[in-house]
Amino acid sequence: MLRHLGNVIALVIAFAVCALSLAAQGAPSALEGYFTGKEVQLKIDMPGTQKGVDLRFDQGSPMNWKEYSSRVKQFGAAIRKGDQARVTAIVVKKDMIEFQLDGGGFGTFGDDTQTTVAAKTVEKSDYEKQLENDIANTDDEDRKRSLQRDLDRERARRERENADNQRAAQVASQIKAQQVSGSRMNGGSRFNLRWKGSIPADQLTPEAVMKLLADYVQFGAVQTAGAPPPVQNGEISHDLPPGANPPDNNSSAGSPTAQLKRGMQISEVNNLLGQGRQLSESTSADGLKTQIFEYLPQDRRVEVTYVDGLVIKFSISSR
């Protein structure tokens, strides 16, 4: 009798565990269906990285403010306090819920985070190698001096090319750094809700998630998916890859500001926007000259930063 009762109890426990497992498996879909596509308002700045903000609910205080400050300082703020952001994904793992906003953050697989462009090295030419060989194999001092002069000129030519390539790589690296920075600002961010071991079953509900995020996210005006919010204060994003056109509100695609691109020469910008007014100029330790110009085409204000005469970044605003 006792043995039979023990089997019944074991069976009941097995069914209970199975039911909890099925409930947990169904919870991610419930969270995704409730949050995905809706808009929320942020109460804190969100770092521009896929690392996002970690909240550990197995500790006394979920937020590690030192870690948070470090990420905002290192990666910048992709979403500012008070901004609205769209929930683009909810990912539930064994011990974590990813609450992804506006794309979930730059730096995931496939994102190019490198900001350094390597300079192409000019190798010795066959002519230079032959001159070195001829010098080593001649005993005629006059001929050796003549060959040495030719070799010096050939080496100087190669060194000039390497210096030009190094300079071009420095400019390209600055352009790349601006591109990565722009991608971070446009890539969104995320909250990582973490537990030790596994997520408690009672935390896998929309109500529980909203309560956990209440100090960091305003859910009072949650909206369904729709058109993205308008550009604030007339500012137009300029954090785009080289060669891409920025959006230009209330103007056609053929407008001068819509044709502005990174990598353009200063003369091309002047032809496009008119003569600008220089705001500042500086030279780095590497000898790169940085200039900032202001242009006032039509009803716009355009601020352009040049490095060695090439557009590195720009911003466009109404005036």
Give 212-266 pLDDT, tens digit per residue: 999 999 997 554 444 444 433 344 444 444 334 444 444 445 688 888 888 889 9
Contacts of 186 (CB under 8 A, 6+ apart): 78, 103, 106, 237, 239
The lowest-confidence range among 82-86, 139-143, 190-194, 260-264 is 260-264
Which amino acid is it at 63? M
Average pLDDT score, the chain: 82
**pLDDT for the residue 7:** 54
**pLDDT for the residue 152:** 96
**Rg of the chain over all Cα atoms, to the nearest angstrom:** 30
- The predicted model gives 112-119 an average pLDDT of 83
- The predicted model gives 183-211 an average pLDDT of 92
Alpha helices in the chain, H assignment, sequence order: 2-35, 65-75, 126-136, 141-186, 206-212, 266-273
**pLDDT for the residue 184:** 76
What's the farthest any 2 CA atoms get from each other in the chain? Answer: 116
Handedness of CA 270, 272, 276, 278 (dihedral sign): negative
The token duo for 110 is 């496939």
